């Protein structure tokens, strides 16, 4: 009888072991000899929180394991020594007489050569929305089980652009003189069509590349292919929010995993608040705890489990894909202490890496608040963030080229902007731009004036900082006839889709004007690659007079002069005013025409023009 009962118990135990399961483990795998020793495993499965884990693997110990409000999660923290070898470690989980074993892979790390390179002021970044660039694989346009397919009749819906389309057209980007590519997020955004999540900012799984874009391995191949062409990749991330359809939302780990929208409502979108010494707690809570929009739940990074999860997710993507930098969306909306911790830990793990934080604010002082602070200027707050998005630069150029020239307007807007650079820890690390996916296109802002466009682009490529170009700008792309909504400036690239009437990726598919501007842009871009004075040189500028603005970039190996004339007619400038810089040079080579320009008493500038001279003895 005893033997029969024992056999029955053994059989039942086997059945429990056979049918009990773990539905999800994140991260899905890890690596041996990582630059961090701690690994948080998030296990998800029915009542898995009742289990406790044991691991018998050389170099791996369990530091702690935590059950949470939902019984379906278990967080296990592992300590992994540098001596630990790659392999499969077995996690033995038990709860009473129930047993589960999960095999977890520790992979060997890839060679660091050519990966995680970072980026700096020698680079030129090309920003694109993958869904709007090119569709190289129509078979993944609509995937059974996913909530939205392609609808080319509605610009607010998915258009089908993907990784295959990007790879097909990388030579177009490289030939234009770009050195780095920033893609808006490629995470799974399995959201209903009405939410318009084609942009990628409503993640529903932070460990998956959306299959409609191509999937994880395709993304890794994209990064490798970009690297093989001598360019870099910047990944877009979001730690402020996720999509309402994120799998967490069906079973939140803890009650405080997200902020309570019933209590805090929606954000006030006022990025000035964190740097405001007089800000009320009400305004701080609205900014940080309010949801961005109804379909994007706001994450609570003061939950330590979530904070660890997000940081570790970042490290996983850097190691897995080999990306060279990250652009962090809505940088000013999470808790600033968390963002500082995130940036610090990422850069400690990958010292050659770089990070851009999106800080959409109007003034230099509020922008500078978010850059790292070795001088202690920001009331004790150090963000550890090397690079910020220089929105004040964009606003100054966009306004300064269309306004009348007055005491503080017109070209003087740009002068006054740069005159405040001492507020930054290092303004040369700012990402400067004319437009992006959240703003009307620069060509439209300048009244579709090609001369003003060339002035703006010349400023972008010769000012301090790391320039970023929005896709289509190299063709002087304007707007769709849609008014002021996002989709008006998020067009698809003609030729990126089968059946398009023309293909702008090829010379024969472009208009004469597009070919002319593409050649001009590409020439300037490719010159900039070798312009060490623009990369590293000191900036010396002279107060704008008579609607002209002159500045120099000075390096021991090269000096570049930039002369801007916003007048509607030709203007002659007297060179004696700039003698402190140009006195040792007799001429300059015009970058646009390759013609020699004598530097004697005066120089005549064409109307509405930017003259870029590489000075010569």
- Per the CB < 8 A criterion, the answer to whether 105 and 84 are in contact is no
Pull the structure tokens for residue 380. 């004790």
The contacts of residue 394 (CB under 8 Å, 6+ apart) are 432, 433, 434, 435, 439
**In the sheet where 609-616 sits, what is the strand order?**
538-545, 548-555, 558-565, 609-616, 587-590, 596-598
CA pair distance 359, 367, nearest whole angstrom: 7
Return d(Cα 314, Cα 237) in angstroms, integer. Answer: 8
Nearest to 82 by CA among 41, 35, 28: 35
Helix, strand, coil distribution of the chain in percent, nearest 5: 30, 25, 45
- Answer for the pair 610, 564: CB distance below 8 angstroms, yes or no: yes
The whole-angstrom separation of Cα 415 and Cα 28 is 51
Determine whether 329 is an active site residue.
yes
Nearest C-alpha neighbor of 553 from the set 567, 532, 523: 532
Q: What residues does 333 pair with on adjacent strands? A: none
Identify whether 76 is preceded by a cis peptide bond (ω within 30 of 0). no
- Catalytic choice (162, 210, 329, 614): 329
d(Cα 79, Cα 433) in Å, to the nearest integer? 43
Site of tokens 């990070």: 355
Q: Rounded CA gap, 63 and 467, in Å?
A: 44
User: What's the CA gap between 274 and 369, in Å, rounded?
Assistant: 9
CB of 562 closer than 8 Å to CB of 458: yes
| 358 assigned to active site | yes
In this structure, are residues 80 and 32 in contact, taking their beta carbons and an 8 Å threshold? Answer: yes
Specify the 3-state DSSP secondary structure of 343.
helix
Catalytic residue among 123, 188, 295, 358: 358
- Sheet holding 325-329: strands in order across? 387-388, 354-357, 325-329, 232-238, 180-183, 125-128, 466-470, 431-433
DSSP designation for 298: B
Which residues are marked as active site? 329, 358
């Amino acid at each position: 009888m005893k033997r029969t009962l024992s056999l029955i118990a053994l059989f039942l135990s086997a059945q429990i072991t056979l049918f009990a399961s773990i539905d999800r483990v994140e991260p899905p795998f890890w690596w041996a000899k990582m630059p961090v020793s701690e690994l948080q495993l998030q296990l998800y499965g029915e009542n898995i929180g009742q289990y406790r884990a044991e691991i018998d693997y050389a170099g791996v110990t369990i530091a702690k394991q935590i059950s949470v409000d939902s019984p379906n999660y278990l967080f296990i923290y592992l300590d992994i020594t540098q001596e630990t070898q790659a392999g499969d470690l077995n996690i033995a989980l038990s709860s009473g007489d129930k047993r589960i074993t999960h095999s977890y892979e520790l992979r060997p790390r890839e060679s660091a050569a050519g990966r995680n390179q970072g980026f700096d002021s020698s680079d030129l970044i090309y920003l694109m929305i993958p869904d709007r660039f090119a569709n190289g694989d129509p078979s993944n346009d609509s995937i059974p089980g996913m909530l939205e397919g392609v609808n080319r009749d509605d610009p607010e819906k998915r258009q089908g652009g993907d990784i295959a389309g990007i790879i097909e057209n990388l030579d177009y980007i490289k030939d234009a003189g770009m050195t780095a590519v920033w893609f808006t997020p490629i995470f799974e955004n399995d959201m209903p069509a009405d939410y318009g999540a084609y942009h990628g900012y409503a993640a529903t799984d932070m460990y998956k590349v959306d299959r409609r874009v191509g999937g994880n391995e395709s993304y890794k191949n994209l990064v490798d292919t970009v690297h093989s062409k001598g360019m870099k990749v910047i990944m877009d991330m979001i730690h402020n929010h996720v999509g309402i359809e994120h799998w967490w939302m069906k079973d939140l780990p803890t009650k405080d995993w997200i902020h309570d929208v019933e209590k805090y409502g929606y954000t006030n979108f006022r990025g000035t608040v964190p740097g405001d010494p007089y800000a009320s707690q009400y305004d701080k809570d609205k900014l940080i705890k309010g949801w961005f929009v109804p379909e994007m739940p706001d994450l609570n990074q003061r939950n330590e489990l979530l904070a660890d999860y997000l940081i570790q997710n970042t490290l996983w993507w850097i190691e897995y894909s080999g990306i060279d930098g990250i652009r962090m969306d809505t940088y000013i909306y999470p808790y600033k202490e968390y963002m500082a911790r995130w940036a610090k830990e990422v850069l400690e793990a990958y010292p050659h890496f770089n990070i851009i934080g999106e800080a959409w604010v109007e003034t230099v002082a509020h922008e500078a608040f978010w850059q790292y602070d070795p001088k202690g200027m920001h009331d004790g707050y150090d963000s550890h963030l090397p690079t910020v998005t220089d929105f004040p630069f964009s606003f100054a150029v966009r306004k300064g080229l269309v306004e009348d020239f007055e005491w503080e307007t017109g070209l003087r807007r740009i002068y006054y902007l740069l005159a405040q650079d001492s507020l930054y820890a290092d303004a040369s690390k700012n990402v400067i731009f004319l437009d992006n996916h959240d703003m009307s296109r620069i060509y439209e802002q300048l009244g579709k004036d090609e001369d003003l466009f060339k002035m703006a682009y010349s400023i972008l490529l010769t000012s301090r900082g790391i320039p970023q170009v929005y896709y289509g700008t190299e063709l002087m792309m304007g707007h769709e006839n849609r008014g002021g909504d996002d989709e008006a400036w998020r067009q698809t690239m003609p030729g990126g889709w089968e059946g398009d009437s023309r293909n702008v990726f090829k010379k024969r598919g472009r208009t004469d004007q597009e070919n002319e501007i593409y050649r001009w842009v590409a020439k300037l871009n490719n010159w900039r690659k070798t312009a060490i004075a623009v990369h590293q040189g000191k900036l010396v500028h002279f107060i704008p007079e008579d609607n002209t603005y002159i500045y120099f970039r000075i390096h021991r190996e090269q000096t570049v002069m930039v002369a801007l004339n916003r007048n509607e007619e030709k203007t002659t400038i007297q060179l004696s005013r700039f003698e402190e810089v140009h006195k040792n040079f007799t001429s300059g080579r015009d970058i646009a025409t390759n013609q020699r320009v004598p530097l004697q008493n005066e120089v005549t500038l064409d109307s509405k023009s930017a003259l870029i001279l590489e000075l010569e003895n």
